Amino acid sequence: MSAAPTTEPPPAFRGTLLICDDEEGPRLSLRVVFKDEYNLLLASDGRQAIELAQQHRIDVAVLDIRMGGMSGIEVLERLKFIDPHIEVVMMTAFETADTMRQALRLRASDYINKPFDIATMRAAVGNAFHRRSLAGEIQDSAEQLNHLMAELQNQKVEEQISRTRGDIYASIIHDINSPLTVISGYIQMMNERIGVANQLEVEDLLFIKDNLKTITRQVTNCIEISRRYLGFLRRQSEASTIVGVNQLLTDLAELVRVHPSVQNNEFSCTPLAEDVTVGVNGTDLIQILLNLCTNAFQCTQQVHRVEVSGEVLGEPIAPAQIHDGPNDRWLNIESFDNTVPLLKLTVRDTGPGIPAEVLPKIFDAYFTTKSTRNGTGLGLSIVQRLVKAAKGLLHVHTQAGAGTAFTIYLPARRKD
Ligand SMILES: Nc1ncnc2c1ncn2[C@@H]1O[C@H](COP(=O)(O)OP(=O)(O)OP(=O)(O)O)[C@@H](O)[C@H]1O
Ligand SMILES: [Mg+2]
């Protein structure tokens, strides 16, 4: 019988056993014992054994520990390197305790004394195959589990994306609604002015020209709003532009003036004593303030007052000041850039205030106490998101019967 490796491809249903011994006697007797049970690969030295392991999937190996050339311990180490799941039975003669410890450390699964008796060898190899198939099953299950987990994770992400997407589309519609209301207000005013006139005077033309300017600005706003959100959907972070706050407050006052929710309520918008700039998209800041003003106007049917005012703070917000209570809520604390100067803008109303049980919910998307015709419940969640994007802090203070104040704090820069 030759010592050349047997390389016929094994049938799929039988396990593969590698036998490596440099003595022909034991090699051949092992062949006789196992040839009917397993696909056999025979090697007469370590080098051949390694080559076979590189070419075939081996389940169990029986290695003589003492061989010429590469020792059994080294072969064991190399086999485990090729496939850590190979089960290895070592055949030992008069090895020292050290060698045995080394074999066990290298995760040999069993050792058998030479000369071996066939029953012991059969039991050792049988156990090794059993362990191997168990390990294979465990590995298969673990792989299946990992696969399932990955799929689940994927689905969660997809779900989150589509939920966010839905929210974003709803936000676009919500935000565009405000400029559209303004546009429709201006068109109505123009209609009233020119609808009855047979001929247009110079003042009428100037009036129309002025109104068209505002309308154009609002149309630009609509376009910017949809661009901003669609940009977000494409995961683009839009570069924020530097904006002068007093110009924005003037724009806001003009928008509010024609807003239908104002009705007979009083409104005032006081410019900052010292103008500053903020690194926020102008449309975003207008959007924040307009949402807060609309809420303030809509908080009661009774005639009341809404004020927008602001100041520049030279001191950071003291952490002790920031705590929620029945009358107070603070948001975006973790993302707040508390560096001075800080711009503080407040929208205050003299309405009924927000009940303590409602206060914790007002920033939730789709939470509204208004009829579905009047509110989608998205306004404040949009405000929170925009303030967060600007690294700002948001505070609401409310008092039953006395009114509510929404305040935003934004990192600002003094104008040169
Ligand atoms: N100034 C305020 N005074 C009293 N309650 C307020 C005030 N601002 C907000 N709220 C309460 O917070 C809720 C949520 O406000 P939010 O702006 O998110 O939605 P909405 O105004 O109801 O609807 P939308 O803004 O979509 O038109 C309001 O329904 C209202 O109950
Ligand atoms: Mg609202």
pLDDT at 196 over 80: no
pLDDT at 59: 94
pLDDT at 230 over 70: no
Nearest residue to 248 (alpha-carbon basis) of 282, 281, 206: 282
Over the stretch 350-378, which tens digit does the pLDDT of each residue have? 999 999 999 999 999 889 998 866 777 88
pLDDT at 85 over 70: yes
pLDDT at 161: 60
Q: What is the CA(394)–ligand 2 centre distance, in A?
A: 15
**Whole-angstrom Cα distance, residue 231 to residue 181?**
24
Span 384-403, average pLDDT: 94
pLDDT at 237 over 70: no
Nearest residue to 284 (alpha-carbon basis) of 328, 238, 330: 238
In the block, residue with structure tokens 């590995």: 139
Mutate to test the pocket of ligand 1, among 288, 362, 374, 398 (most ligand atoms within 8 A of CB): 362
SS3 280: coil
Over the stretch 56-83, which tens digit does the pLDDT of each residue have? 999 999 999 988 889 999 999 999 999 9
Topology agreement, domain 16-116 and domain 239-416: no
* pLDDT tier, 232 (very low <50, low <70, confident <90, very high otherwise): low
The answer to whether the beta carbons of residues 238 and 276 sit under 8 Å apart is no
Over the stretch 301-317, which tens digit does the pLDDT of each residue have? 999 999 999 999 999 99
Nearest CA to ligand 1 atom 27: 375
5-14, 361-370, 401-410 — which is least confidently predicted? Answer: 5-14
pLDDT at 9 over 70: no
Give 44 or 159, the one with higher predicted confidence. Answer: 44
pLDDT at 235: 40
Nearest ligand 1 atom to alpha carbon 376: 26
Reduce the secondary structure of 29-46 to three states and give it as a string: HHHHHHCCCCEEEEECCH
DSSP one-letter code for 93: S
pLDDT at 3 over 60: no
- End-to-end Cα distance, the chain: 97
Name the CATH architecture for the domain at 239-416: 2-Layer Sandwich (3.30)
Q: What is the CA(171)–ligand 2 centre distance, in A?
A: 12
Q: What is the CA(77)–ligand 2 centre distance, in A?
A: 70
Q: What is the CA(195)–ligand 1 centre distance, in A?
A: 36
**Which uninterrupted H or E stretch holds 136?**
helix 118-195
Q: What is the CA(375)–ligand 1 centre distance, in A?
A: 8
The domain spans of the chain are: 16-116, 239-416
The first and second tokens of residue 379, run together, are 């306004």
Span 225-247, average pLDDT: 63
Over the stretch 157-177, which tens digit does the pLDDT of each residue have? 666 666 666 666 777 788 888
pLDDT at 260: 72
pLDDT at 379: 87
**Whole-angstrom Cα distance, residue 164 to residue 147?**
26
The class level of CATH for 16-116 reads alpha beta
Ligand 1 interacting residues, C-beta cut-off 6 A: 174, 295-296, 299, 349, 351, 354, 358, 362, 367-370, 375-381, 404
pLDDT at 241: 57
SS3 5: coil
pLDDT at 392: 96
Mutate to test the pocket of ligand 1, among 288, 308, 380 (most ligand atoms within 8 A of CB): 380
Span 98-102, average pLDDT: 80
**Which uninterrupted H or E stretch holds 310?**
strand 305-313
